[in-house]
Amino acid sequence: MAFAQPDPATPASSLLSERIAPPRGSLATTACMETLQVGYLHAVAAAAGCSLAQPFPDHGIDWHLSHSARGHTVDDEVTIKVQLKATYQIAPRPPGPTFSFTLDNDHLIKLARTPVSVHKILVVMIVPRARDDWVRAGHDRLALRHCCYWTNLAGHPVTGSRRTTVRIPTSRIFDDRALCEIMSRVGAGGKP
């Protein structure tokens, strides 16, 4: 693999971006996006102390996350269902309190069902268009770009003939703290 020769005056932090891209595999970009968001989900679940299970067959829900904590009052372990989606059609750090995301009505109906015995959330990852920009590694971190946001669509109406646009709050960044808070609310008998 060849690397560009760095300019001695260039700060070390920008040298990483000057690397020549390696030849990437021929897997479809959408399949790679799915794998990237699964990696993000696993990292968040690990930091939150959650276990993950992937239903087989998935029947429209990608993952089950379970969380055990002394503070849970409804059970010693609570579970939520997670549907993952990813897009590169939305710029990072979307302006405003929400951004639009379109779902097939079949997916929305499953996520919007109420009442439920196990709550569901939608997690949408905004990724850079170029795979070269998805991951940055250094001696002290592995950064996945850009960000996942979550929402609870329980009770959301279907408004389109085949697809419905939903609003995803930009304040709901999906990280380990958010997941612990979701699990605490569910563990107390509430909603995500």
Q: What's the total number of domains in the chain?
A: 1
In a domain, 50, yes or no: yes
Contacts 24+ apart (CB under 8 A), 22-29: 24/131, 29/131
Q: Tell whether 15 is covered by a domain.
A: no
User: Does 52 reside within a domain?
Assistant: yes
Tokens representing 177? Answer: 């703290």
Range(s) of the domain holding residue 62: 27-93+117-150+170-187
Domain presence at residue 60:
yes
Closest CA to 122 of 158, 75, 169, 162: 169
Answer yes or no: is 1 within a domain. no
Q: What is the pLDDT of residue 18?
A: 58
In a domain, 8, yes or no: no
Alpha carbon of residue 179 to chain centroid: 11
Query: Tens digit of pLDDT per residue, the chain (192 long)?
Result: 444 444 445 444 444 445 677 888 989 999 999 999 999 999 999 999 999 999 998 888 999 999 999 999 999 999 999 999 999 999 999 999 999 999 999 999 999 999 999 999 999 999 999 999 999 999 999 999 999 999 999 999 999 999 999 999 999 999 999 999 999 999 999 999
Please give the pLDDT value at position 20. Answer: 79
- State the amino acid at position 187 in one-letter form: G
| Angle formed at CA 103 by CA 58 and CA 116, multiple of 5 degrees | 55
pLDDT attached to residue 24: 87
- Encoded tokens for 28: 């479809």
